[in-house]
Structure 1
């Protein structure tokens, strides 16, 4: 997964106005107590970040 796909999926789930805000503020244990933005900057693969988001947002399996 590319980072652009991660952002597209987040915007699809949260809306284009809220996705970036959520990604900058929501700290997740699955990402080492980092936000999406921090995890990506630290080199965590987008697919790993998406799985943490999927879990945190409690999305259906089909969205994984």
Structure 2
């Protein structure tokens, strides 16, 4: 996942305004209590941050792969 895809997935799931709030304020336990923005700035894997954000925000698993993107093969 590229950073631009992460940003688009956040905007698709939460809306552009609330998406900025979620990535900047929601603490991700999986990343030592950092927010998504802090984890990305620290160089963490973008897809890992996206999946942690989905889990923390109770996004249904069916929407973890972004709007309009095919789900990966199992």
Aligned residue runs from structure 1 range 10-49, under 5 A: 10-49=10-49
Bigger Rg, which one: 2
Distance in 2, Cα, partners of 1:26 & 1:57: 8
RMSD over aligned CA atoms reads 1.0
Distance in 2, Cα, partners of 1:31 & 1:12: 23
Structure 1 stretches of at least 4 aligned residues deviating more than 3 Å after TM superposition: none
In structure 1, stretches of 5+ residues that fail to align are: none
In structure 2, stretches of 5+ residues that fail to align are: 65-74
Report the alpha carbon displacement of residue 17 of structure 1 after superposing the two structures with TM: 1.0
Distance in 2, Cα, partners of 1:60 & 1:22: 16
TM-score with structure 2 length normalisation?
A: 0.79
What is the number of residues matched between the two proteins?
A: 64
TM-score with structure 1 length normalisation?
A: 0.89
